[in-house]
Amino acid sequence: MEKRLKKIVTLGVIVVLSGFIFMTVTMGATKEQEAYLKINNQFIEKDEINFIVSNMKSSVISQVQGRYGLTYDENFWNTKVGDTTPRKILEEKVIETLVRNTVIEELLSAEDLLQYDSFEAFNELLVNVNEMRKKAVANKEVIYGPVEYSQFDYYNYLMANNLIALRERYRMSKKVDITDEILKAYEQSHPELIHTEANTLETDLIYMKFVEADGTLNAHKEQLYFSSMNEVYKLLEEGKGIEELLKLYPDVLNYEPYSFLAENERQDLNRYGNLMEAFNQVPEGAFTPVICDNGAYYIGILNRREAGDKRPFEEYKDFLAIKYIEEWIQDDIDALTVKAQVQILKPFTQ
């Protein structure tokens, strides 16, 4: 990240003055909505800056404490660590995130795929969405995801879906040059994407189900189990075993050894499609992230993989095209982020 930021600076991006982000950490958000930054042609107001700071502050504290052993007290943000301070680390992360978010929003807006034109409009959209979801639950309608989105979760949800829409827009409009020769070269440089006949996978599945036996979605369980399974994931990272995890989460955490076999591929895809895709990204002995499938949150542990024969290129070139366009979009975002112009319109003072 530091090398990347230095590159941005050399290309003319004005880095925020000392004290700018720190004041957003130590001061609460006010009702005044004034622009403090201009990124390309977009004005960034104080609430949007605070939104990013609030979601990065704890990770910076953990990063600094983990790397330097620094105690969190009233002097934390200004204490020298190496050749920087925690405040400067936070400033860099916030600026980088704001620039990247703005670049993505500009790309979406150019294709008429962005649902809002300001951070204030985004917040209004969030309020309306949450109201509709709460009414649906009150009327015993089925909804997917949490009953009420946080600001951070809804922003990430929108961006993830908008980038999928952007990928499909580029694909249909042929904005990205794709030929069989390009895709075959891409395939050779990304061996993990090469499709074979169904693998045989020997796995252990641990999961928490949030859909009741009668098929009813339990929204409370869905939220609770998502958090719990992320806790389980962290415990797995720390080296905890399955038996120990089952004791820590009695009655809610389930365990099932499962073999994904070629002859059952169609049924497994219907039941475990997301989980199977996740298994394609992990080596033997590793485990997947938390995956939602079939009314439950899963973590899969891959014990053994036996690869099948390579499939003909024509059978999966559409999949390669999707991955190629996704990477093309990310490269474009990276390039535009480096070129972005940032101006300080109203710096904070201590």
For residue 16, what pLDDT is reported?
42
Find the range with the poorest average confidence among 75-84, 186-195, 243-252, 299-308: 186-195
- Looking at residues 147-153, what average pLDDT do you find? 88
pLDDT, tens only, 231-262: 999 999 999 999 999 999 988 999 999 999 87
Identify the pLDDT of residue 214. 75
Which positions ≥6 away from 162 have C-beta within 8 Å? 104, 108, 113, 114, 115
Confidence tier at 197 by pLDDT (50, 70, 90): low
Question: By C-alpha distance, which of 43, 51, 73, 231 is closest to 123?
Answer: 51
Q: Does domain 196-306 have CATH number 2.60.40?
A: no
pLDDT in tens, 70-115: 999 999 999 999 999 999 999 889 999 999 999 999 999 999 999 9
| Domain spans in the chain, listed from the N-terminal domain onward | 1-193+311-350, 196-306
Instruction: Walk across the sheet containing 200-209 and list its strands.
Output: 254-260, 200-209, 296-306, 291-293
What pLDDT shows up at residue 146?
A: 81
pLDDT in tens, 6-52: 334 333 343 443 444 444 444 444 434 578 889 998 999 889 999 99
Handedness of CA 80, 86, 91, 93 (dihedral sign): positive
**Is pLDDT larger for residue 219 or for residue 168?**
168
Q: How far apart are CA 294 and CA 247, in angstroms?
A: 24
If DSSP states are collapsed to H, E and C, what string results for the chain? CHHHHHHHHHCCCCCCCCCHHHHHHHCCCCCCCCEEEEECCEEEEHHHHHHHHHHHHHHHHHHHHHHHCCCCCCCHHHCCECCECHHHHHHHHHHHHHHHHHHHHHHHHHCCCCCCCCHHHHHHHHHHHHHHHHHHHHCCCCCCCCCCCCHHHHHHHHHHHHHHHHHHHHHHHCCCCCCHHHHHHHHHHCHHHCCECCCEEEEEEEEEECECCCCCECHHHHHHHHHHHHHHHHHHHCCCCHHHHHHHCCCCCEEEEEEECHHHHHHHHHHHHHHHHHHCCCCCCCECCCEEECCEEEEEEEEEEECCCECCHHHHHHHHHHHHHHHHHHHHHHHHHHHCCEEECCCCCC
In percent, the amount of the chain with pLDDT more than 70 equals 87
pLDDT at 289 over 70: yes
Rounded Cα–Cα distance for residues 157 and 151 (Å): 10
The pTM for the full model equals: 0.65
Confidence (pLDDT) at 194:
73
The pLDDT tens digits for 266-288 are 888 888 988 988 888 888 999 99
Confidence class of residue 190 from pLDDT cuts 50, 70 and 90? confident
User: 347 pLDDT exceeds 50?
Assistant: yes
| Nearest CA among 143, 111, 147, 77 for reference residue 350 | 77
